């Protein structure tokens, strides 16, 4: 797949543990979306989580951004509920 479009989403958390919880929650989704049009990588450095999305077209990139932002938001909500 030729990657013509890409973006990097960065999420900063108050602690490395919080970032790790979100990372572990969303990492299971890597490879589950349409890999013919887009790919993703999830990395963490201490309290900063990075989601890098590459896509063959802007529509696929937008869909990837929307999906991964939802995954992160859901993981944050669940992590907050667990810690509350």
The CATH number given to whatever domain includes residue 46 is 3.30.310.50
For residue 32, what pLDDT is reported?
75
Domain tally, the chain:
1
Mean pLDDT value across residues 67-74: 95
What backbone torsions phi and psi does residue 51 show, to the nearest 5 degrees? -120, 115
Q: C-alpha 25: how far from its chain's center? A: 10
Average pLDDT of the chain, as a whole number: 89
CA distances (Å), origin 35, targets 7, 17, 29:
16, 30, 12
pTM for the whole structure:
0.86
Give the residue numbers spanning the domain of 17. 5-83
Say if residues 56 and 34 touch (Cβ distance below 8 Å): no
Query: What percentage of the chain has pLDDT greater than the value 70?
Result: 88
For residue 72, what pLDDT is reported?
96
Over the stretch 15-32, which tens digit does the pLDDT of each residue have? 999 999 999 999 998 877
């Amino acid at each position: 797949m030729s990657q013509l479009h890409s973006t990097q989403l960065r999420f900063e958390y108050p602690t490395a543990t919080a970032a790790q919880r979100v990372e572990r929650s969303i990492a299971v989704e890597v490879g589950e979306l349409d890999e013919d049009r887009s790919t993703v990588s999830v990395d963490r450095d201490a309290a900063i989580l990075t989601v890098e999305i590459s896509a063959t077209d802007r529509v696929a990139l937008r869909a990837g951004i929307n999906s991964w932002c939802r995954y992160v938001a859901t993981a944050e909500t669940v992590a907050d509920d667990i810690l509350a």
